[in-house]
Amino acid sequence: MKSRNRISTMRRRFLALLAVFSGSLLTSRSVATGKQRQLSLHEADFYKPHDLAG
């Protein structure tokens, strides 16, 4: 289990580094800490324009 946790931590750090290079500070911070901003649904802007297909 310990080694899996270590791999998971290393993976998170690697992804965080990638996110830094791609310019996303929010992503890098959340990935590095393993903590996303968990938001209430009421905090979502349902009508915000987006470019997702579907």
Cβ 17 to another protein shortest distance, Å: 13
Angstrom distance (rounded) from CA 35 to CA 51:
26
Is residue 15 at the binding interface for another protein, with CB under 8 A as the rule? yes
Residues 6+ apart with CB under 8 A from 29: 16
Q: What is the dihedral of CA 37, 20, 18, 48, to 10 degrees?
A: 50
Is residue 2 at the binding interface for another protein, with CB under 8 A as the rule? no
Is residue 27 at the binding interface for another protein, with CB under 8 A as the rule? yes
Residue ranges in contact with another protein by CB under 8 A:
1, 4, 12, 15, 24, 26-27, 30-31, 34, 36-44, 46-48, 50-54
